[in-house]
Every structure is written in C-alpha cells, then in structure tokens.
Amino acid sequence: MRLLHTMIRVSDLEKSIDFYTHVLGMRLLRRKDYPGGKFTLAFVGYGDESDTAVIELTHNWETSSYEQGNAYGHIAIGAEDIYALCERIRADGGMISREPGPMKHGDTVIAFVRDPDGYAIELIQKKD
C-alpha cells in the first residue's frame, strides 16, 4: 500500500492551479470536469501519480467558499533552500504566514505559506 493523494476543496480552481504549479513548482497532472455532479477535479504534484502522492484540488461549481474547521493541520513539502523558496513565493504574490527559521524546541528549519484558500503549507528545509 501507499498514500495516493490528499484532497482539498478550493473556491477558485484556476487560482489554485496557478498557485500550486507556478508558485510551488508542481505540475498539473490531470484535470476532469464532471458536469453531472457539477464539480471538477485537478491533480497536482511533483511527480507521476504512479510513484508519488499528489494533491487533488476539488472545485464544486456551486460553492464559493469553505470553512476549514479546526481539525485540518497542513500539507508538508521538503525543499532544498526554504529561504530562497519563501523569497520566490513572496515575489509571486504568495503569503508567508511564518518566516523561515528553526522550529520551537528543535533545530529543523521550517516556514509556512498559505494557498489562495488559506490552507497551510509547511516548508521543511532538507537536511544535508
């Protein structure tokens, strides 16, 4: 067994696809409209779905916003240089919600950004 994908509901699919592909550097792997159900699914990720876990962006055509609730935590992404990545994200209009630096009670360097719907994404500096 392996983890296939994580699904999040998004209010503006084009804006979300742009964020995950252009700002975070993922690829749009596939996209399909389901007119009978009035929704669209778009899958984004860093690798092929046969090898890596991806994110499913679900856009319900008749829903304009969602409440995230207090159970959702974050999506984590490992990066070679999160300081440079945060500068690029900021330059691309992304929101840095926690600047890069060591985590509390540890030495792992992390940062947090928010996607267009406010979902938290943790960036974790890869260790040498």
DSSP codes, 58-98 = EEETT------TTT---EEEEES-HHHHHHHHHHTTPEEEE
- CATH 3.10.180.10 domain locations along the chain: 5-60, 75-125
Q: What is the DSSP letter of 23?
A: I
pLDDT digits (tens, 9 = 90+) for 28-39: 999 999 999 999
Q: Give the pTM.
A: 0.90
pLDDT digits (tens, 9 = 90+) for 39-83: 999 999 999 999 999 999 999 999 988 888 888 899 999 999 999
pLDDT at 128 over 80: no
Q: Does domain 5-60 have CATH number 1.10.730.10?
A: no
Burial zone of 81 (CB within 10 Å; 0-12 exposed, 13-18 middle, 19+ buried): middle
Q: Which CATH class is domain 75-125?
A: alpha beta
Known catalytic membership, residue 122 = yes
H/E element, 17: helix 13-18
Instruction: From the candidates 14, 56, 99, 122, give the one annotated as an active-site residue.
Output: 122
